[in-house]
Amino acid sequence: MRLSRYFLPVLKETPAEAQIASHRLMLRAGMIKQSSAGIYSWLPLGWKVLRRIERIVHEEQQRAGHHPMLMPTLQPADLWRESGRYDAYGPEMLRIRDRQDRDMLYGPTNEEMITDIFRSHVSSYRDLPLTLYHIQWKFRDEMRPRFGVMRGREFLMKDGYNFDLDEAAARHAYNRHLVTYLRTYERLGLQAIPMRADSGPIGGEDTHEFLVLAETGESEVFYDSEITDLRFGDRAIDYDDVAQCQGILEEFTSRYARTDETHDEAVFAQVPEDRRRSARGIEVGQIFYFGTKYSEPMGATVQGPDGKPVPVHMGSHGIGVSRLVGAIIEASHDENGIIWPEGVTPFHAGIVNLKQGDAATDSACEGIYRQLVDAGLEPLYDDRSERAGAKFATMDLIGLPWRITVGPRGLQSGKVELTSRRTGESEEVSPEAAVERVKGVYGVE
Amino acid sequence: MRLSRYFLPVLKETPAEAQIASHRLMLRAGMIKQSSAGIYSWLPLGWKVLRRIERIVHEEQQRAGHHPMLMPTLQPADLWRESGRYDAYGPEMLRIRDRQDRDMLYGPTNEEMITDIFRSHVSSYRDLPLTLYHIQWKFRDEMRPRFGVMRGREFLMKDGYNFDLDEAAARHAYNRHLVTYLRTYERLGLQAIPMRADSGPIGGEDTHEFLVLAETGESEVFYDSEITDLRFGDRAIDYDDVAQCQGILEEFTSRYARTDETHDEAVFAQVPEDRRRSARGIEVGQIFYFGTKYSEPMGATVQGPDGKPVPVHMGSHGIGVSRLVGAIIEASHDENGIIWPEGVTPFHAGIVNLKQGDAATDSACEGIYRQLVDAGLEPLYDDRSERAGAKFATMDLIGLPWRITVGPRGLQSGKVELTSRRTGESEEVSPEAAVERVKGVYGVE
């Protein structure tokens, strides 16, 4: 993309309403614009990050054999009356009446709707196990929306639902989801720690929240410091292997790690004192096992191997996709702007032309641009007639991990500058070497 | 994908509520499930088609330099009060009140919101031309939703908006959109004819609708039969070339083609009698030029080259993404089921194992499956223990363009059967040749 043709409305001033770094930086970098309290438009740069996260979520879910689908945003109230949640859910549920005076609602979650789909179409244990998921906009009418996309009202969420014949199979689905989430967050460049949590309005017997440590987190968390040394890494995983998934759950959840809702001082005291930590965390996902809480009242049964009907065991599993954009920024920024992890960066590299209009410089920039595009990468080329300082400031603000700076002086000795946004370190290299280095980072040829 | 692990709830019976082929077939093929009147869940097979269409729309818009973004589904009523449409829009607009008693609405279209984004961020003619678009769910509270996704209430639409300094530039944007739409529909396997139309509640001076001819179409259309011979084909296009885009507009719109709203018998009579046609059509898109209709009342001005403020000239351009799934099926099906065009098929080929459990047959199927996957294609492998007739019926119903049938008898002479869903013709070829043929169809190696 050429910046002269792009829509990147960066702001010079820090918006007064933004209290935390991610909100401030998303507004300043031209990623979002508020349309009403807690509701945002995603401008082109923000949209690209959202899509990259979506794509990683899709890839990791499908790798585990979970099936993508899409449920609508508006739901009939009657479904929620069946589960008893229509009255139980508070004023955060946006209730709507359509022109025929039917009670509708803007879905805050989809347990009822997916259970309805299941009971309409599945009748035999032979069709299990089954996990369906979607990535769709949800609405929760927060009393005090704030912190930008971190606590918005209209938000994008991945929510998945497993259907299994018995508790053991559903426990495996739970573990499988935990593994997919560990992989997903690591690909996003985040460390998200699974912590024992409270089930809230979803209900259920067992649940873990995934928390990213950050000063601006809304939750107080307590954990054994050993947990932050754990990495999923690139180990091979067979999602049908019950013991392997169970082993990973144990590896990542056996140490003390709880939110304040489930924190137990007596148990925490058994952790060696030098490893006890308390901090703040941002919740970026949650997994639940809730057995037959929805399948029983809603009649979601299958015929078991013995011919008798059994209600299916279920769980639900959510990732806050739009909230993750904010969480990543909270975890990765400095005073000059955002620092995108390579996995989610909106553009793979920036190209800064120090002397627009100088034939040799323009030509070198075009060459680098073309080679990166031909390799399947998306560079952002600042081809505007701006001074160098303004171009650097924009690149730092929007946080592309790599910058290639091209100017007449360097070109005289056949060099351009390759700069890492994260370390700030620069190297003088040939244009070809800069392209090869960037391609190497992203594993393309 | 292995069918034994997929969620494909095909129906044997024809659902009573479905009046037209696409609705019937989408329900029977397990693509959608109604959740309330005019509101559908997209089951995995339907979701895949929706995504393929979305992707083609994105590619063609971005090829023309239009920028993707995403506006929210819920909008503040105040924006619509500025344009005067809050009161003017009828009961099809779903009006909502949030917990703070603020008037909101579920967006049926986004002219006001995009104009607000524009005026907040763009102030100079130097930032023009600019076209922004998104693909987002919309809501129109139809009194009588019917025909499945063809006239739903919650529907997925691509809507794009151009901002230009003057009418000439905005006319080029209009022409450019017409070209992108011609390309898009052809890639979807559709012939969609641009017809002079009425502007309706969007307003504006000039507009074309794109119509797919089909008996079940909601519009009566009148056209010169020469128009159905036109093809965009694979001609090269430079979207910055004003004359080229204008030429294509003229080529595709100079012959008589109108909907009943703008039909003029006297003009139509000038078409030679043997070329006069009347038929029914499904509207799958519409482009508008409306000048300063929104920019003037909402104050969307830029500083022109002479320093004076000028209201920008705008247009809006829509493609009915979810409706297209129905339109494609209306245009491409037979008594046995759907016939997907290769551009949008949910799976590239089906593999039918005639004797599940036979070692040689299973092994041949696995080999074909693996080779197609390794080529980047998505085959659907029917690995269930069903009889051949049921497997064929399912494949015909869900409409994959190519089927590879593998059985012990054929394998004895080293052959499998390659069948075209469209022509019904089969050939006996080696497994390797079948794979190569399918790869060739989709242009992969």
Separation between Cα atoms, residue B226 and residue A22, nearest integer Å: 57
- Best A47, A48, A63, A70 member to test B by mutation, with max B CBs in 10 Å, is A70
Burial per residue of B162-198, b for 16 or more beta-carbon CB atoms within 10 angstroms, e otherwise: bbbbeeebbbbbbbbbbbbbbbbbbbbbbbbbbbbbe
Chain A residues whose beta carbon lies within 8 Å of the beta carbon of residue B70: 41-42, 47, 50
The reply to whether B217 and B313 lie within a common domain is yes
Q: Which amino acid is at B21?
A: A
Is residue A344 in a domain? no
Flag whether residue A412 sits within 8 Å of chain B, measured between CB atoms: no
pLDDT of residue A16: 85
**Distance between CA atoms of B268 and B366, rounded to whole angstroms?**
59
For residue B165, the SS3 value is coil
Contacts of B125 in chain A (CB under 8 A): none
Residue B343 falls inside a structural domain: no
| Domain end point (choices B338, B372, B393) | B338
- CA dist B284 to B182, B191, B218, B288, Å? 11, 11, 11, 14
d(CA B399, CA B338): 4
Same domain? B149 vs B276: yes
A122 and B CB contact within 8 Å: yes
- Is residue B322 a part of any domain in this protein? yes
pLDDT digits (tens, 9 = 90+) for A112-145: 999 999 999 999 999 999 999 999 999 999 999 9
What are the Cα distances from residue A285, in Å, to A22, A65, A195, A248, B381?
18, 19, 10, 17, 33
CB A325 within 8 A of CB A53: yes
In a domain? residue A355 = yes
Say yes or no for a CB contact (<8 Å) between B72 and A116: no
- Would you say residue A202 has pLDDT above 70? no
A113 and B72 in contact by Cβ < 8 A? no
Return the SS3 of A282.
strand
Q: B102 with A36: CB under 8 angstroms?
A: yes
Phi-psi region of A334 (alpha: psi -120 to 50; beta: other; left: phi over 0): beta
Nearest CB to A73 within list B127, B134, B137: B137
Q: Does B254 touch chain A (CB under 8 A)?
A: no
Is residue A94 classed exposed, middle or buried when 0-12, 13-18 and 19+ CB atoms within 10 A define those classes?
Answer: buried
Where in the sequence is the domain holding B270, given as residue range(s)? 3-338
* Co-location of B129 and B55 in the same domain: yes
In 3D, which of A214, A188, A441 has the Cα closest to residue A333? A214
* B440 interfacial to chain A (CB closer than 8 Å): no
**How does strand A309-311 pair with strand A301-303?**
antiparallel
How far apart are the CA of B228 and the nearest CA of chain A, in angstroms? 35
* Residue A343 forms part of a structural domain: no
A376 touches B at CB < 8 Å: no
Taking the C-alpha atoms of residue B93 and residue B138, their distance in angstroms, rounded to an integer, is 10
**Facing A91 at nearest CB: one of B41, B99, B122:** B99
Partners of B37 on chain A (C-beta within 8 Å) are 100, 102
Q: Where are the beta strands (DSSP E) in A237-335?
A: 257-259, 276-291, 301-303, 309-311, 313-320, 333-334
Please name the member of A9, A75, A92 whose beta carbon is closest to the beta carbon of B121.
A9
Which of A47, A98, A378 is the best mutation test for B, with the most CBs of B within 10 A?
A98
Q: Which residues contact A177 (CB under 8 A, 6 or more apart)?
A: A64, A160, A162, A287, A315, A317
CA B39 to chain A, closest CA, distance in angstroms equals 7
Cα dihedral B214→B219→B220→B223 (10° resolution): -70
Structure tokens at B374: 């390794």
Residues A432 and A301 in one domain: no
Residues B254 and B396 placed together within one structural domain of the fold? no
Nearest in space to B344 (alpha carbons), one of B78, B50, B87, B39: B50
Pair B293, B361 in one domain: no
Which residues in chain B touch residue A75, judged by CB atoms under 8 angstroms apart? 35-36
Q: Which amino acid appears at position A10 of this protein?
A: V
Which residues of chain A does B121 touch, with a Cβ-Cβ cutoff of 8 Å? Answer: 7, 9, 30, 33
Partner-chain contact A76 B35, CB within 8 Å: yes
In this prediction, residue A270 carries a pLDDT of 96
Q: Distance, in angstroms, between B393 CA and closest chain A CA? A: 19
The total number of structural domains in chain B stands at 2
pLDDT tens profile A77-117: 999 999 999 999 999 999 999 999 999 999 999 999 999 99
Q: What six digits make up the tokens of A263?
A: 């924190």
HSE of B398 in the Cβ direction (CA atoms, 13 Å)?
A: 35
From the list A7, A76, A122, the residue facing B67 with the nearest CB is A7
| Alpha-carbon distance B320 to nearest alpha carbon in chain A (angstroms) | 16
Q: Which of A288, A306, A338 is the last residue of a domain?
A: A338
Task: Determine the pLDDT at residue B83.
Answer: 93
CA distance A12 to chain B (A): 12
Q: Are residues B272 and B384 in the same domain?
A: no
Does one domain contain both B194 and B251? yes
Whether ipTM tops 0.85, in short, is: yes
Q: Is residue B52 part of a domain?
A: yes
DSSP B67: E
Residue A443's contacts (CB-CB under 8 Å, 6 or more residues apart) are none
A382: nearest Cα among A355, A358, A359, A409: A355
B69/A141 Cβ within 8 A: no
What sign does the dihedral B190-B193-B194-B196 (CA atoms) show?
Answer: negative
Domain membership of residue A224 (yes or no) is yes
Does B344 map to a domain? no
Chain A residues touching residue B75 (CB < 8 angstroms): 35-36
Write out residues 23-62 of A within 8 Å (CB-CB) of B: 30, 33, 35-37, 39-44, 46-48, 50
Q: Which residues of A298-321 are buried (b: 16+ CB within 10 A; e: fewer)?
A: bebbbeeeeeeebbbbbbbbbbbb
- The pLDDT of residue B45 is 98
Across the interface, whether the CB atoms of A141 and B102 are under 8 A apart is answered: no
Long-range contacts (CB closer than 8 Å, 24 or more residues apart) made by A391-397: A391/A352, A391/A353, A391/A354, A392/A352, A393/A336, A394/A3, A394/A8, A394/A10, A395/A350, A395/A352, A395/A421, A396/A336, A396/A337, A396/A421, A397/A10, A397/A25, A397/A28, A397/A29, A397/A336, A397/A337, A397/A338
Reduced to 3 states (helix: H, G, I; strand: E, B; else coil), residue A16 is coil
What CATH number corresponds to the domain at position B17? 3.30.930.10
Q: Which of B99, B35, B145 is nearest to A78 (CA)?
A: B35
**Which of B98, B106, B325 is the best substitution to test chain A (most A C-beta atoms within 10 A)?**
B98
pLDDT at A203 over 80: no
Say what the pLDDT of residue A17 is. Answer: 84
Preferred mutation among B1, B10, B35, B101 to probe A, highest tally of A CBs within 10 A: B35
- Co-location of B403 and B308 in the same domain: no
Beta-carbon pairs below 8 A across chains A and B: 148
Q: What's the pLDDT score for residue B434?
A: 98
Report chain A's mean pLDDT, rounded to a whole number. Answer: 96
**B307 and B176 co-located in one domain:** yes
Q: Which residues of B touch A40 (CB under 8 A)?
A: 72
List the one residue out of B129, B81, B121, B157 whose CA is nearest residue A33: B121
CA of residue A375 relative to chain centroid, distance? 26
Q: Which of B338, B371, B406 is the last residue of a domain?
A: B338
Residue A19 host element (H or E): none
Q: Do B76 and A33 touch (CB under 8 A)?
A: no
pLDDT of residue B13: 86
DSSP string, B210-263: EEEE-TT-SEEEEEEGGGGG---TT----TT-HHHHHHHHHHHHSS-EEETTT-
From the list B9, B30, B98, the residue facing A141 with the nearest CB is: B98
Chain A within 8 Å of B275 (Cβ-Cβ)?
no
Instruction: Tell me, yes or no, whether B163 and B283 share the same domain.
Output: yes
Question: Token match 């259907």: residue?
Answer: A163
CA dihedral B224, B230, B236, B238 (to 10 degrees): 10
- Gap between the Cα atoms of A78 and B316, Å rounded: 37
Q: Which residue of B has its CA nearest to A4?
A: B127
Instruction: List per-residue pLDDT tens for chain B, 445 residues long.
Output: 999 999 999 998 888 889 899 999 999 999 999 999 999 999 999 999 999 999 999 999 999 999 999 999 999 999 999 999 999 999 999 999 999 999 999 999 999 999 999 999 999 999 999 999 999 999 999 999 989 999 999 999 999 999 999 999 999 999 999 999 999 999 999 999 999 887 666 666 689 999 999 998 989 999 999 999 999 999 999 999 999 999 999 999 999 999 999 999 999 999 999 999 999 999 999 999 999 999 999 999 999 999 999 999 999 999 999 999 999 999 999 999 999 999 999 999 999 999 999 999 999 999 999 999 999 999 999 999 999 999 999 999 999 999 999 999 999 999 999 999 999 999 999 999 999 999 999 999 8
Contacts with B154 from chain A: Cβ below 8 Å: 72-74
**Are A401 and A333 in the same domain?**
no
